[in-house]
């Protein structure tokens, strides 16, 4: 008998979306594993080559392709994680994904330093993140099909909003510049997070090479 493969459940299209600014840096992640301190022995680390260890947790730094270290770093991210390990432990157990961006990385954003901005805006905000972290800016949160008009002062009384939310956010971002680095007038684009009940889905839209994508350009 052949292996039965069930057709996957289809996510419902009509859900809210969250649009955040897409940052042009390098993909990064932090992994934290807690363990019972009574079983901790400095001669027997619970994991191989962690970026940093304390009596009750181990912390790792990663890039898009794998774990990194201070000896094989990615724009200094592993060193930053090691230097801020105690504060970063407030993120808690698990994988924490974000963008490592700023000085010397891709477009740089005119910054004289580098930042780590977390992606999960449903969990993290400026009030609950570690002091060394940031969060990608939310540019819109609402119905996927909402239509708006960004020239309200010129509209007629019977004018109906007819500008798709995604297009509006792109126009607004291009006009105002980066929300993550105010004053930087060449942002990369946006990430659209579709809040499906069965599966969360991400899409990205950029100002440059949006049809082909970075890999083909």
CA distance 184 to 22: 13
pLDDT of residue 152: 47
pLDDT of residue 43: 39
Nearest Cα residue to 67 out of 50, 80, 83 = 50
pLDDT in tens, 56-103: 788 999 999 999 999 999 999 999 999 999 999 999 999 999 999 999
Neighbours of 15 (CB within 10 A): 14
pLDDT of residue 9: 80
pLDDT in tens, 98-154: 999 999 999 999 999 999 999 999 999 999 999 999 999 999 998 877 766 554 455
- The backbone region for 79, taken as left when phi is positive above 0, alpha when psi lies in -120 to 50, beta otherwise, is alpha
Burial class (CB in 10 A: 0-12, 13-18, 19+), 23: buried
What CATH number was assigned to the domain covering residues 16-206?
3.30.470
Neighbouring-strand partners of residue 35:
none
Q: Which of 33-42, 46-55, 153-162, 204-213 has the highest mean pLDDT?
A: 204-213
Domain ranges, ordered by start, for the chain: 16-206
Output 213 or 35, whichever has higher pLDDT. 35
Task: Evaluate if pTM is beyond 0.75.
Answer: yes
Neighbours of 160 (CB within 10 A): 8
Neighbouring-strand partners of residue 68:
61
CA distance 84 to 130: 10
């Amino acid at each position: 008998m052949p292996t039965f493969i069930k057709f996957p459940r289809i996510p419902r299209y009509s859900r809210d979306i969250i649009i955040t600014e897409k940052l042009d840096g390098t993909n990064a992640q932090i992994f934290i594993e807690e363990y019972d301190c009574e079983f901790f022995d400095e001669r027997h680390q619970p994991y191989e080559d962690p970026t940093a260890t304390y009596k009750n947790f181990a912390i790792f730094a990663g890039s898009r392709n794998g774990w990194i270290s201070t000896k094989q770093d990615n724009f200094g991210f592993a060193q930053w994680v090691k230097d801020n390990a105690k504060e970063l432990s407030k993120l808690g157990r698990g994988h924490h994904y974000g963008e490592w961006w700023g000085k010397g990385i891709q477009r740089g954003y005119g910054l004289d330093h580098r930042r780590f901005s977390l992606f999960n805006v449903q969990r993290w905000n400026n009030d609950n993140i570690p002091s060394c972290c940031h969060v990608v800016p939310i540019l819109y949160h609402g119905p996927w099909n909402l239509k708006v008009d960004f020239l309200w002062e010129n509209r007629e009384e019977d004018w109906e909003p007819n500008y798709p939310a995604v297009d509006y956010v792109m126009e607004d971002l291009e006009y105002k510049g980066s929300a993550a680095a105010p004053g930087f007038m060449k942002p990369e684009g946006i990430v659209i997070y579709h809040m499906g009940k069965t599966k969360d889905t991400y899409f990205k839209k950029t100002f440059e090479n949006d049809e082909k994508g970075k890999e083909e350009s």
